[in-house]
Structure 1
Amino acid sequence: MITRNPSSTVSRFLDAHLRRDAQTRELSVARFMSILSAICVVVAAALGPAMGWDLTFALMGLSAVLSGYYACMWWVLRSGAFHPAIPWLNVFIEVSIPAVVLTFDLRYQGPVYALTAPTLVIWGTLVTLAGLRSNPRLGLAAGALVAAEYLALYFGFVRPLLPDQPLVTLGPLFICVRAFFFVATGALTATLARHFLERTKSALAALREQEVMGKYVLHERLGAGGMAEVYRATYSPEGGFEKQVALKRILPSYADDAAFVTMFRREAELCSSLYHPNIVQVFDLGRHGGTYFLAMEYVDGLPLSALLKPRNRRPLPVSAATFLAAELASALDYLHRRTSADGVPLRLVHRDLNPPNILVSRIGEVKLSDFGIARDAVRAHLTVAGSVRGKLGYMAPEQAMGRDIDGRADLFALGLTLHEALTGQRALSGHSEEVLLRAAVDQEVVPPSQLNPAVPLALDLIVMSLLQKDPERRTPNGAALRQQLLALDGPAAPYPHGQAELARVARDTKTLAEQLTVDTVETLAVGKPPVVRSA
């Protein structure tokens, strides 16, 4: 496969990164300026006898106001609020500080002192700092603003107070030259900032060339497992068409693991044949740079495990949990009834349904992912007889014991997941792998209403029917489960409010994660090592 000019995508990626970084940058500036302004209050007070107390009090008042402003700005930015106009406002205030100081000097010390005071030296520095905010236009604007303020103050207020024969360096010609240097400083800073950004883009483009897998340009990593990792990527073929995808690739150190590569290809083959709104779709399978990758549907959201984890083990709203279960029941019904092209039942079993493999988008969509260890009747020989595959603590008794399984094993896992969503606690627990492996057989699960009084009796019965240890007594299929859930009424009804409630929780969780700068995204359809455990 040939790389298709990722430079425009890289440019947009860098621009987006700098925009996201603007809030952090302004937060640092606000903290620094608040502390510096507070220090200036003390310094001005110490210089009072030398400068005169009238000027000292004016400078102390200005420093106190600036310290208060930047403290408030720091608090606002720290709370997560940000607007693109904030850097422009801060630059306007920063480069205008010497103009205010010049006005004070003129008022209390006279025109000659005002034009020669040491504080004016920082004007050029502030122009330079404005241009270093990764936006060349800020440098240009700062230089032009400083020149305009300087000329306006000179010709409007200072010059009429100067002696008839002032020093040459205080005459209009030299003042205009200084103003020109301010503009030139802004232009030079903008040029350097633009050059820096262009070189950064070039370096990033060269680096991204190593991270472009065919027509896929990689962005941030979404998750990683022991043998594979997942990135958000842009599918960018010729013609300007672009599509966001999740790109999963085998770690290079495992690219030669024949068993894992077989499982990886099997997942791509199986998922590419599944078309259901509640199942993550696979678009492509390829090899690049010595490793395999597959491109999947990108879900802008979080795994269910992330929704449950930061809630201090609190449950989901009941309607959100029943909506989640109803959507997954539809996906399982489709999966279990899937047939081959000639109508032969495939008897597909997911075998790994658990919160990290259930994705919830910002608008409340529910997607089942990670079919790496899914099994069908045709390839049942890939699973060693008497072996166990799946996530400990989410397996049906027959699966944990290494016996023959069918779709009802997935329904048991869904029952455990629904129980956890309703209670905020894992239904099965254990201090070791051996205990967790036998938990489905040995442990009794209490009805969710005993842990969450908001769960009605009808929903209790649905969950406990899913958790029957004997498959023959368990809810028979996803269609039957969905009908039971749709029959619920009141606050437990999955429709019409369940999706909105689930979306609200997903958005709140993702916003919290972004504000705390904590990556709560767990493994997103990342393959797991093909562990074989004896029952």
Structure 2
Amino acid sequence: MSASQVTPRSRAALDAALDVEILAFERVMATVWLFFLLCGVVASAIIALTTSLWLGLGCSALSAAYLLWYVPVWFRLTRGPQPGWLRTANDVVEATIPWGFMAVLVFTEGGEYALGSWVPPMLFTLLLLSHVVRLRDRSPLIVGVSGAVIFAGIYVFLARGRIAAGFEGHVLFQANMQLTRGVSLLLAGVVASVAARYMRRVIGRADRVLRERELFGKYRLLSRIAVGGMAEVFEAVYAPEGGFERPVAVKRIHAHLAQQERFVQLFRQEAEIGSRLAHPSIVQVLDFGSREDSYFLAMEFVDGITMARLLSRTRADGVEIPEPVMGAMLRALLEGLHHAHEVARGADGELLRVLHRDLCPQNVLLSRNGEIKITDFGVARALRDADASHTQTVVGHSGYMAPEQARAQPLDHRADLFSVGVIAWELATRRRLFGRKTQAATVEALLNLELVAPSTLRPGLSAGWDDFVLRALSRDREGRPASARHMLAELDRIPSSRSDGAIRRLAQLVRQLGDAADEVQDEAPTEVELPRARTRVLVPEPEAR
């Protein structure tokens, strides 16, 4: 559902809330009418004594009559909303106010004076405005229709016969002009009615947007920073009643996917697993909940860019990523994976042994301070006591998944290490390793492409990197490092992978490239067939790099 839509249920709740507030405004308006009518009685008495006796007496009597009507109306409003019949009756009485004074002018000052006076149209306009600001959409119609009918009656039966000699031919007092005035009064009522109804709808849309941006009163959404096929991510502020504020990221599943239990389960699983992964190299999940027709989770906010953006921009600019910066990023990934694989525990205290299963540059965040964090555990799986995870469907970015994952074979933690190997190869060469224009071609390359050492494409690459990367890219998982901890030890044996200024240099790169935002690459899965093994595979659409 878009922010511009309001459900019948929420519309009814909004109307009820508006009616409560408008009731208070009705009391204010009734008080204002009483005040002005009382002033009218006094002013009319002064006019009677100083200017025109009959005009003053007529206006005074009319003001007193309306005052007598509004006193009980005011008392009724203090006890609660008006019944429908009383509101309609009050609208009709209010509609006669401008024309009652016009009739007094006709009898006391003559037809030409009444038709040329600005007082009746001014009162009519104020009356319409009072209904619009009270968001009444039927009352302006009553005022417009009543005004047109009463004005026509006053002209035909009263004013026309009392126009002074010499004024009959003036364009202001001709019948055609009065017809135009009557139609204008009617149209003004219609326009005011439409305006009042439109204002209600605008308030409804604004209320919808506000409620979307105020999740349970704790999270205030600021701006959307990413969107994908499964979810959208907002920069937000955690603002509890205590008064302090904290920047967070709120990830919200699309409303149409919230109706599909499979996607909701993946989203809930991401929140549950993420909440247990407390490590500096993993984005911390802080909260999970639902809001009307969708689900959301609140996460640690990382102010920066994705690794995918870093790769695309350095590739476009022809800039090599320094080896110490490569080492810093890979080291953080391996430390985070080590925590997920071998350290994180569930609520029962048992090891979770979490496999990410979708580690790729789009799911690595780089902050302006040089932090490196793994995110999006939406398709992660906790092995616990199992030796391996086995599924008949495969979900993930096809250019980064392990071959056994693409074949829907049992997985263990070494599948994530293969993904690190792909990332390392691409960081070194700034090229796509397996990514092709189609999913089938990507999977074909993943399973059968002859691998080349990174130094073939980057001749100046220091010794040790080729062995480190190619060992991680072994299609036989037995040929890969035994664990993230072992792979981290292999990385540490490459001298150029370390430097005291690596994090500072990474932060500089992120700040240089961080003006434009990336979109989250968590597209809804699609099915393809592997060209040879004929295994059914679920993979996202090709990433925009």
* Fold shared per TM-score above 0.5: yes
Report SS of the residue matched to 1:283. Answer: strand
1:389–1:531 CA contact under 8 A, matched in 2:
no
Q: CA deviation at 1:341?
A: 4.8
User: For residue 353 of structure 1, what is the aligned residue in structure 2?
Assistant: 359
259 and 379 in structure 1: CA distance in 2 versus 1, 3 angstrom threshold: farther
488 and 226 in structure 1: CA distance in 2 versus 1, 3 angstrom threshold: same
2:519 aligned with 1:522, yes or no? yes
- C-alpha root-mean-square deviation of aligned residues, in Å? 2.7
1:26-46 residue CA offsets vs partner (Å, 9 max, x unmatched): xxxxxxxxxxxxxxxxxxxxx
Report SS of the residue matched to 1:388. Answer: coil
1:328 to 325, 333, 354: 333
206 and 289 in structure 1: CA distance in 2 versus 1, 3 angstrom threshold: closer
340 and 237 in structure 1: CA distance in 2 versus 1, 3 angstrom threshold: closer
Q: CA deviation at 1:290?
A: 1.8
2:215 to 213, 232, 237: 213
1:260 to 263, 267, 272: 263
Q: CA deviation at 1:450?
A: 1.1
| Distance in 1 of aligned mates of 2:394 and 2:315 | 31
Q: Any residues of structure 2 matched to 1:432-443 within 5 Å, and which?
A: 432-443=438-449
230 and 380 in structure 1: CA distance in 2 versus 1, 3 angstrom threshold: farther
| Distance in 2 of aligned mates of 1:484 and 1:372 | 29
1:133-153 residue CA offsets vs partner (Å, 9 max, x unmatched): xxxxxxxxxxxxxxxxxxxxx
| Distance in 2 of aligned mates of 1:382 and 1:248 | 29
2:326–2:497 CA contact under 8 A, matched in 1:
no
User: For residue 286 of structure 1, what is the aligned residue in structure 2?
Assistant: 289
User: For residue 487 of structure 2, what is the aligned residue in structure 1?
Assistant: 481
User: For residue 401 of structure 2, what is the aligned residue in structure 1?
Assistant: 395
TM-score between the two structures when normalised by the length of structure 1: 0.57
User: For residue 145 of structure 2, what is the aligned residue in structure 1?
Assistant: none
Report SS of the residue matched to 2:504. Answer: helix
384 and 330 in structure 1: CA distance in 2 versus 1, 3 angstrom threshold: closer
528 and 372 in structure 1: CA distance in 2 versus 1, 3 angstrom threshold: farther
| Distance in 1 of aligned mates of 2:415 and 2:390 | 18
- In structure 2, runs of 5+ residues without a counterpart are 1-204, 529-535, 538-545
User: For residue 376 of structure 1, what is the aligned residue in structure 2?
Assistant: 382
TM-score between the two structures when normalised by the length of structure 2: 0.56
Q: CA deviation at 1:278?
A: 0.2
2:389–2:410 CA contact under 8 A, matched in 1:
no
1:455 to 456, 461, 485: 461
Q: Any residues of structure 2 matched to 1:472-511 within 5 Å, and which?
A: 472-489=478-495, 492-511=496-515
1:164-208 residue CA offsets vs partner (Å, 9 max, x unmatched): xxxxxxxxxxxxxxxxxxxxxxxxxxxxxxxxxxxxxxx989843
| Distance in 2 of aligned mates of 1:381 and 1:487 | 30
2:477 to 447, 462, 471: 471
- Paired AA for residue 336 in structure 2: A
1:279–1:367 CA contact under 8 A, matched in 2:
yes
388 and 381 in structure 1: CA distance in 2 versus 1, 3 angstrom threshold: farther
Report SS of the residue matched to 2:256. Answer: helix
List structure 1 segments (4+ residues) > 6 angstroms apart after TM superposition. 203-206, 379-384
Q: Any residues of structure 2 matched to 1:158-169 within 5 Å, and which?
A: none
1:486–1:494 CA contact under 8 A, matched in 2:
yes
Higher relative contact order (CA 8 A, sep 6+): 1
| Distance in 2 of aligned mates of 1:227 and 1:459 | 36
1:406-457 residue CA offsets vs partner (Å, 9 max, x unmatched): 1111011011011111111011133321121232220122111111123112
1:90-113 residue CA offsets vs partner (Å, 9 max, x unmatched): xxxxxxxxxxxxxxxxxxxxxxxx
User: For residue 322 of structure 2, what is the aligned residue in structure 1?
Assistant: 317
- Paired AA for residue 438 in structure 1: E
User: For residue 428 of structure 1, what is the aligned residue in structure 2?
Assistant: 434
1:260–1:530 CA contact under 8 A, matched in 2:
no
2:309 aligned with 1:306, yes or no? yes
Q: CA deviation at 1:384?
A: 7.4
1:280–1:297 CA contact under 8 A, matched in 2:
yes
User: For residue 413 of structure 1, what is the aligned residue in structure 2?
Assistant: 419
Q: CA deviation at 1:484?
A: 1.9
2:236 aligned with 1:233, yes or no? yes
346 and 415 in structure 1: CA distance in 2 versus 1, 3 angstrom threshold: same
2:230–2:254 CA contact under 8 A, matched in 1:
yes
- Paired AA for residue 214 in structure 2: V
Q: CA deviation at 1:227?
A: 2.2
1:420–1:426 CA contact under 8 A, matched in 2:
yes
Q: Any residues of structure 2 matched to 1:26-105 within 5 Å, and which?
A: none
Task: Determine which structure has more spread, i.e. the larger CA radius of gyration.
Answer: 2
1:223–1:522 CA contact under 8 A, matched in 2:
yes
| Distance in 1 of aligned mates of 2:437 and 2:386 | 31
Aligned length: 325
- Paired AA for residue 243 in structure 2: G
Q: Any residues of structure 2 matched to 1:77-156 within 5 Å, and which?
A: none
416 and 209 in structure 1: CA distance in 2 versus 1, 3 angstrom threshold: same
